Amino acid sequence: MKTSVTIIALAILLASCTSKEPMGKLIEDRLARSIEQYELMAASLMDQPDRLPRDIMPDGKLRTTGPSDWVSGFLPGSLWYLYEYSERPELLDYAVDYTMRLVDQQHNRGTHDLGFMLYCSFGNGLRLTSDTVFRRILLTGAESLASRYNPLIGCIKSWDHNGDKWQFPVIIDNMMNLEFLMWAARESGANGYEAICLSHSDMTAKNHFRPDFSSYHVISYDTITGQVEKKNTHQGYADESAWARGQSWGLYGYVVMYRETHDERYLTLARNIASFLLSHPNLPADKIPYWDYNAPDIPEAKRDASAGAIMASALIELSGYVDPATAKTYLGVAEQQIRTLSSAEYFAEKGTNANFILKHSVGHLPGNSQIDVPLTYADYYYIEALLRFRKTLK
C-alpha cells in the first residue's frame, strides 16, 4: 500500500515537472508582464524628451541614445504592439510620445535603417490609428531611404561609415528595411519603390548567400563596375561564418518579400534559409542561437536572444505559407524559442534589467560592444512573436 502511494506521488511529481504550461496561458502572462515592464521603461524617460533606450550600463542602469540611432524605433514599436494587445490608454500616450521623438528622422538620408526606425514606430502607429500625419512622415522617410539606391549596383547602400574599407557596403540586415519601402510603393503609386525593393532583394539573393544558404554579413560593391568587390563580416566571427542575427534578418526579410510579392523565388529562399538554420548542428536544443553559428567557443559561446526572437517571429509568419507538415515544424521551433525566451533565464523580473524585457543578447561582439545585454530589438521581436503565435491559437 505504502509503496503504491509513493509510486503515485512520484508519478504526479514527474508529470508536473515535465508538463508544459499551455502556450495560450504563457503568452497572456508574458504579455501582461511585458506591459508592466515597458510602462516602467516608458515612464523612466518621460523627463528626457529626446532620448530612447539603447542597452544597459555596467552598473545596471539604462543606457539611452538619440533618435538617429538605428534602434530608436523599437521602443515606440513595442509600445504600439502592447497597446494593440491591451488597448490601455497609457500605452497609447507613451507610443505617440516616443514615436514623435523620431519625427526628424524622416529627413535622414545617412542610413538604410529607416525601415527599422520609422516603420516600427510611425508604421505601427499608422496601422493602429490611421493618423494622416504619420502617413506623411512615412512617405517623406521612404523618399529618404530610396535616395540611397544606386541603379548601377541595384541595391540600397547600407552604411556611410568605413568608407576607406568598403565602396558600397550592403548588409544582410538591409532586407529588413524593404517592408517599409514596399508599403510606400503601394501607398504612393508610381515612384519606382517597388522596383528598388525587387532589385535589392534579387541582388542580395544572388550575392549574399552561400551554397548552403547561410549568408555573408557585408557585401561591398565596386561603384564603377557595379560588381562585388568584397565579402566580409562586421559583427560576426569571421567573413565566412554565419553571424546569427544576420541569418535571422535574412530569413525574416525574404518572408516579408514573399508576403509582399507572392514571388515563389523568395519563398523558396526563405525555406532554404530556415532549413539551414533548423538543421544546423550548432543550434541548441532550446533553439536560441549562439551569437554566431561558427563561434569557436561553442558551447561556451554567448547566446543571442535577439537572433532567437527575430527567427521565431519569421518562422511563425513563414508557417502560414507552407504545407501543414512544414508549418508544424516551423511552429514547433518558434514555440520552443518563445518558451526559452519566456523562462527565468531570459525573461527579466519586473523592475530589473533596466526595464528591458529580455536578457542575454549580443550586439557587436568583435567590436567588444553589447555582449550579453538586453537590447530593444530583442524585446520588439519577442513581443511580435508572442502576438503572432497567439493568433495561431485562435
- Name the residues annotated as catalytic: 113, 173
**Residue 19: all three cell numbers together:** 508538463
* Interface with ligand GLY (CB under 6 A), residue from 99, 235, 313, 361: 235
Site string for ligand GLY, 334-373 (x = CB under 6 A): -----------------------------x----------
Q: What is the rounded distance in angstroms from the CA atom of residue 239 to the CA atom of residue 215?
A: 10
**Residue 345 CA: distances (Å) to CA of 16, 166, 349, 364, 376:** 20, 39, 10, 21, 18
Q: Which CB sits closer to ligand GLY, 174 or 319?
A: 174
Q: What are phi and psi of 292, to 5 degrees?
A: -140, 135
Total number of residues that touch ligand GLY (CB under 6 A): 5
The label of the residue with cell 567573413 reads 239
Under the criterion CB under 6 A, does residue 292 sit at the interface with ligand GLY?
Answer: no
**Residue 39 CA: distances (Å) to CA of 152, 252, 309:** 47, 28, 21
If we measure between CA atoms, which residue out of 235, 238, 170, 159 comes closest to residue 205? 170
**Residue 386: all three cell numbers together:** 508572442
Q: Which CB sits closer to ligand GLY, 125 or 236?
A: 236
Q: Which CB sits closer to ligand GLY, 70 or 321?
A: 70
Q: Cβ of residue 26: shortest distance to ligand GLY, in angstroms?
A: 27
**Residue 326: all three cell numbers together:** 512544414
Q: Cβ of residue 381: shortest distance to ligand GLY, in angstroms?
A: 11
If we measure between CA atoms, which residue out of 77, 75, 37, 16 comes closest to residue 387? 77
If we measure between CA atoms, which residue out of 94, 87, 73 comes closest to residue 377? 73
Q: Which CB sits closer to ligand GLY, 245 or 360?
A: 245
Q: For the chain, where are the alpha helices, taking DSSP H only?
A: 2-18, 23-44, 74-86, 89-100, 114, 124-129, 132-146, 178-188, 193-207, 244-261, 264-278, 305-319, 324-341, 376-392
Give the footprint of ligand GLY on residues 47-76 (CB under 6 A).
70
CB distance 173 to 158 below 8 Å: yes
CB distance 199 to 251 below 8 Å: no
Q: Which CB sits closer to ligand GLY, 234 or 271?
A: 234
Q: Which CB sits closer to ligand GLY, 26 or 197?
A: 197
Q: Cβ of residue 236: shortest distance to ligand GLY, in angstroms?
A: 10
**Residue 240 CA: distances (Å) to CA of 227, 231, 293, 379:** 19, 8, 11, 29
Under the criterion CB under 6 A, does residue 313 sit at the interface with ligand GLY?
Answer: no
Helix 178-188 to helix 132-146 angle (10° resolution) is 120
Under the criterion CB under 6 A, does residue 245 sit at the interface with ligand GLY?
Answer: yes
Give the footprint of ligand GLY on residues 165-194 (CB under 6 A).
173
Q: Cβ of residue 198: shortest distance to ligand GLY, in angstroms?
A: 22
Burial class (CB in 10 A: 0-12, 13-18, 19+), 33: middle
Residues contacting residue 54 through CB under 8 Å, at least 6 positions apart: 63, 64, 65, 69, 71, 376
Q: Which CB sits closer to ligand GLY, 55 or 317?
A: 55
Q: Which CB sits closer to ligand GLY, 346 or 381?
A: 381
Residue nearest to ligand GLY (CB): 173
Contacting positions for ligand GLY (CB under 6 A)? 70, 173, 235, 245, 363
